[in-house]
Amino acid sequence: MRIFLNDESVQCVDSMTLAALLEQLRTLKPGTAVAVNQTIVPREQWEQHLLKDGDQILLFQAIAGG
């Protein structure tokens, strides 16, 4: 299925969990937060959260800034 990660189109298997996706992309770092279709998904739910076709995923990280 196709999902959007930070506005970029990504192909992935059908029953992908959020945790699996992030691990695949090697972005499972501390200090990150994820929102799926504008809703924040808490870290403890990443293992259970199943992605659907067309999901818009935004991945945030704490960075240096004022």
- Shortest distance, position 13 Cβ to another protein, whole Å: 19
Least CB distance from residue 42 to another protein, whole Å?
6
Paired tokens of 1? 């299925």
Contact positions vs another protein (CB under 8 A):
5-6, 8, 25, 27, 29-35, 38, 40, 42-43, 58-66
What's the closest the beta carbon of residue 50 comes to another protein, in angstroms?
A: 19
Cα separation, 59 vs 49, whole angstroms: 15
Nearer to another protein, 1 or 59 (CB): 59
Query: Alpha-carbon distance 33 to 52, whole Å?
Result: 19
65 close to 13: Cβ distance less than 8 angstroms: no
